[in-house]
Structure 1
Amino acid sequence: MSKSISASLIVLLASVFALSPFSIDTYLPAIPTIASELNVEINWVAMTVSLYVFGLAIGQLLGGQFSDKYGRRIVMMVGLVIFALGSVAISSAQSIQVLWACRFIQSIGGGIAIVCVPALIRDNAEGREAARLFSLIALIMMIAPSIAPSVGTLILTLLNWHFIFIFLGILGFTLAVYAFFLVPKPVLKTSQNTPKLMSYSEVLRQRTVFGYLLALAFGFSVMLIFLTNSPFVYMEYYGVSEKVFSVLFLMNVLGLIAINRLNSYLLKKHGPAVLLVRFIQMQLCGAIILLLSVTFFPQHMYGVVAGFIIMVSANAGIMPNTNACYLQYFKQNSGKAAGLLGSMQFLTASIVSGLVAYFTQGNLWPVAIGVVLASAIALWGACDGKKRLNV
């Protein structure tokens, strides 16, 4: 049975979880401006998205281990402070190398903080109830990407791109203060009831959940391919303005919200393992639409927009259900288990999206092929997990 989670704590967890997409989406409209000011190609700045996600993976490995040992609250606070300091440092970057370094520091802090969110949920719920909590938090956090590009565009218009990261720093410090007051203190345990801390290798050796690691890692890779390459696809390849880009981005967020609500409704009738397979199938359909559009109608944007919306929206069903399926097997050591899941998710996605961005040299083929392959691997993982788990 789950313990009660206050509404204020749910909002805080959603806000911390939303920090990562917000810190990515806020500066997407500024990528061309940053590239121009630093005198580098736009792809070099766009690769900071993949670098940020790579740092999130490392941060989650650290945070998962420390949160099991020292408690969720202190680890979350430390991560948020590191994130905030890294954000402020980015605002003074005068070269692409400094931008990369500070972005990596920022992402380490973000990873340490966000891994505490699924661990706290697992501390309080499991199964369908956990899936519903993940879905509720996902709904709240979707406010972030829905407004982030507009916030970034507004700051860019009124001030400059440096203030985008100053704003993120203030946000990080603010959340750290709220975490101090809202996250429960860790319960002191005696030597008799303290669970044995598992190593990451022990978590990996649990073959029953390996399919879900693949499902989330490659399902999220599709999302990150979109985030990394959407500025090039929309603003450079199709030549839309920053304002139109924000509108197109918002369409994806509305799709995420719709699928999130659909997932919450379907969880009343179906288990998360069944729904996970269906939503990854939806993602694969969107990827195929994108591939067909690039193949036969490359000059028209409509098929590309439709494909992106379908496969990005599917993530609203993929992520909460994968977390619920995976974490139900880690009542103890949930921080380390969540750290491994999150690190594989972000590490795989950063590598996949980075490779796609590297090979995207003026055409859309790498993007289309990348999302199809990633969706296919995610579907295989979800089907394998469904066979092994009774969720």
Structure 2
Amino acid sequence: MGVMKHMHLDWESNMNTVTQSKPLSHSVGLTLLAGLPLFTLLPLGLDIFLPAVQQIGEYFNNADLPSMAISVYMLFWGIGQLFWGGIADTLGKKNIAMIGMILFGLSSYLISGVEDTQSLEFLAFRALQSFGGSAGFTAIFAIIRMRFEGETLNRAYSYLNGILAFVPVSAPLIGAYVVANNAWFTLFAIMAVMGVISIGWIALTLPNDKAQTPIKRDEPASQNLGKRYLSVLSNTRFRTYLFFALTAQSLFIYLLTVAPMYLMGRLGVSQVSFGQMFMIIALVFMVGSFLSPKINALMTIRSLIGLSLGLIVAGSAIMFVMSGIEMWYSLILPMVIIATGCTILLSSSPANALADFKENAGTASGLYTATTFGAGALISALFTKLIDSTDLTQVALVYGLTALIALVALALNKTVQPDAK
């Protein structure tokens, strides 16, 4: 406890220096360590659930319920970040994180005890689970923006993305092992325990932060919140980098749909084998995220975006050529190249999009993450609905055409041109 107390005091001291706008390059690792539950529980709640969809459908005698649960989770992922982002600057990042973890743990516990006649309650608790988890997600993005500047800010977001990328590709493998020998309730019992642990973790390691955007007493809170969101959206720099981040995030989320449909649905790969194959993409995303700051230092942001989109186009071309070979590497090999492009783009975008919002960090971060993850999921769902995701020819065209459209936008865009490295 003495060491933990010392860490807390040290972080409190660091937090006080934020108001002086000094980059705390030496504490990037500690920031991510203290905030680890904030950006891992929300995606974990979605991805560890995937191997259990068949069991859940059978339990409620409704094959459509699991897909509804996923849609509800993604919907409140976006709604939650908009809500929490709007109040993070007035209530404080640690406060909303604590509230969110309590909601996540409580709803996970409630789900673990639902009866087979309580399908509506199941969906409601899933919505609450996502809503709570999104508070932590918003908080960590805002905390990083408040603490760091310049290259340190870019490195912090890159490392966060590297760790974050490991969750959606490793959680399904963990979930597959759990449900292989246990009922699906066990997954939510595990998440409930993790929620409780996270509450203690955050309470001990995350320092308190002061509100930076107090609500004006002469106008309604909703009106004040609306003005802050409009202020963020009016920023051309924010909109520009949000567009490129949304492009990369949509394509990466689409990968999470394509991979199981092609590998398990078309090729008949087992759940465990699928998870092992997909771990290759996880490693690529992690390595790429940790190397991204070094790559970013070697070229301008415009060149970096062009390189990222070019890799996605190249990967889609290889996939198109290999689409007639119905083997696992026909998907994984080109996806390694595509994932590299998405990684570089996702790692470099947050620092640039949020560069002008130190005071409104919570509002800007909430809008950024809600758009990239929420709208990204909707775009991915649209791709899934419109094309056959087990046909790699069509999948390759989605990736190639989307990246080419973004390249055209980059060529016409004037905001990115003046940016330095």
TM-score range, shorter chain: 0.7 to 0.9
Amino acid at match of 2:245: L
- Greater relative CO (CA pairs within 8 A, separation 6+): 1
**Residue pair 1:225, 1:367 contacting (<8 A) in 2 also:** no
Residue aligning to 1:65: 86
1:68 and 1:333 in contact (8 A); partners too: yes
- The reply on whether 1:29 has 2:51 as its aligned counterpart is yes
1:286-365 equivalent positions in 2, closer than 5 A: 286-294=315-323, 297=324, 299-359=326-386, 363-364=390-391
Q: Equivalents in 2 of 1:242, 1:25: separation in Å?
A: 13
1:322 maps to a residue whose letter is S
User: Aligned ranges for residues 211-222 of structure 1 at < 5 Å?
Assistant: 211-222=240-251
Contact map agreement 2:263 2:274 (CA 8 A) in 1: yes
Match of 1:160 among 168, 179, 183: 183
Return the offset for 1:33. Answer: 3.6
RMSD of equivalent CA atoms: 2.9
| Residue 237 of structure 1: aligned partner | 266
2:200 to 156, 177, 185: 177
Q: Which residue of 1 aligns with 2:95?
A: 74
Q: Which range is displaced more, 74-83 or 359-368? A: 359-368
SS at match of 1:349: helix
1:34 partner letter: I
Shift of 1:46: 4.6
Query: Measured at CA, do residues 96 and 218 of structure 1 come closer, stay the same or move farther in structure 2, by a change above 3 Å?
Result: farther
| Distance in 1 (alpha carbons) for counterparts of 2:289 and 2:205 | 26
> 2:97, 2:135 within 8 Å by CA — same for their partners in 1?
yes
Q: Residue 302 of structure 2 contacts residue 417 of structure 2 at CA under 8 Å; is this kept in 1?
A: no
> What's 1:387 paired with?
417
Q: In 1, distance between residues paired with 2:359 and 2:203?
A: 23
Is the 1:132–1:267 Cα contact (8 Å) retained in structure 2?
Answer: no
The whole-number CA distance in structure 2 between the counterparts of 1:377 and 1:97 is 41
Structure 2 gaps, min length 5: 1-21, 215-223
Of residues 397, 403, 407, the one that matches 1:375 is: 403
Pair 1:11-2:44 in alignment:
no
Distance 1:230 1:88, change over 3 A: farther
Kindly indicate whether the alpha-carbon contact (under 8 Å) linking 1:16 and 1:114 is maintained by their aligned counterparts in 2: yes
- The whole-number CA distance in structure 1 between the counterparts of 2:319 and 2:67 is 21
1:20 aligns with 2:50: no
Specify the alignment match of 2:138 in structure 1. 115
Aligned partners of 1:116 and 1:335 also within 8 Å: yes
**Cα distance in 1 for residues equivalent to 2:167 and 2:99:** 22
How far apart in 2 are the matches of 1:388 and 1:48? 44
**CA deviation after TM superposition for structure 1 residue 339, in Å:** 0.9
Q: Matched residues in 1 for 2:289 and 2:28: separation?
A: 21
* 8 Å Cα contact 1:211/1:381 also seen in 2: no
Task: State how 1:240-255 maps to structure 2 within 5 Å.
Answer: 240-255=269-284
If the length of structure 2 is used for normalisation, what is the TM-score? 0.81
Contact 1:8 1:182 in 2 (8 A): no
In structure 2, relative to structure 1, the CA distance for the partners of 1:366 and 1:353 (3 Å cut) is farther
Distance 1:101 1:311, change over 3 A: farther
Q: In terms of mean alpha carbon deviation, does 59-68 or 15-24 score higher?
A: 15-24
| CA distance in 2 between partners of 1:260 and 1:57 (Å) | 24
Which moved further from structure 2: 241-250 or 257-266? Answer: 257-266
Take 1:366 and 1:298, find their aligned partners in 2: how far apart are those partners?
14
Q: State which drifts further: 120-129 or 24-33.
A: 24-33
Q: Which has the larger radius of gyration?
A: 2
Amino acid across the alignment from 1:133: A
Tell me the TM-score normalized by structure 1: 0.87
